[in-house]
A and B are shown apart, each in its own frame.
Chain A
Amino acid sequence: SAVISQKPSRDICQRGTSLTIQCQVDSQVTMMFWYRQQPGQSLTLIATANQGSEATYESGFVIDKFPISRPNLTFSTLTVSNMSPEDSSIYLCSARTGMNTEAFFGQGTRLTVV
């Protein structure tokens, strides 16, 4: 199993600023992902964080808005850039440790943009 810690757990930010969310896994994982969950909605995949290379973004999400880093097998960051109130959401990190394994999720970062 893997335990995922996300920081911060919540934040209130001014529009136009950027916030970087950290995701730390307590063991090495092969795959890391970032999701967004808007109030009352299901999770939407933003991107796959690739270790040592550029992230793979889903349709509707771009690197300029959501730059992602993954410097090693246990850590990733998601930055929400030039924020607007529409970015208010919960952002979740997820990881998979390899073959024949389930996915693990962090508790999420609740972001409010004012």
Chain B
Amino acid sequence: DAKTTQPNSMESNEEEPVHLPCNHSTISGTDYIHWYRQLPSQGPEYVIHGLTSNVNNRMASLAIAEDRKSSTLILHRATLRDAAVYYCFSWSNFGNEKLTFGTGTRLTIIP
């Protein structure tokens, strides 16, 4: 998977929106952008993925830049349960690529 860069940490107030950025400037044309998160003492869990268009699901929204070199994970109304480490990846959906974790962004939610 192509290299991604994320801020090491972010803070947000509870019940406010959170925008988590990710740069993936070397992404190839067919690679999808995936986001996962790891809650304390749990294994990582899938959050969302997309290719070119913005995506929404019950957990979050994914905004993808027009040039696809960056994306933003949006939590519309952060709760304490959203405190986690968030990882973004650019990953082929058609190969058997392993998932290689970077350092991710540790999100702290302030009550």
Task: Give me the interface of A with B, judged by CB distance under 8 Å.
Answer: 4, 30-31, 33, 35, 42-45, 48, 92, 94, 96, 99-108
Contact = CB atoms under 8 A, between A and B. Distances in A.
B46 A42 contact: no
A43 B44 contact: yes
Contacts of A96: 96
A21 to B, nearest CB: 13
A99 B45 contact: no
Interface of B: 34, 36, 42-46, 49, 85, 87, 93-94, 96, 98-104
B95 to A, nearest CB: 9
B46 A104 contact: yes
Contacts of A105: 43-45
What does DSSP make chain A's interface, helix, strand, loop or mixed? strand
A94 B99 contact: yes
A44 to B, nearest CB: 7
Contacts of B34: 102
B99 A45 contact: yes
Given A42-B104, A44-B101, A107 B43 contact: yes
Given A92-B43, A107-B43, A43 B101 contact: yes
Contacts of B42: 107-108
Contacts of B96: 30-31, 96
Closest 3 A-B residue pairs measured CB to CB? A105-B43, A102-B46, A43-B101
Contacts of B44: 43, 92, 94, 103, 105
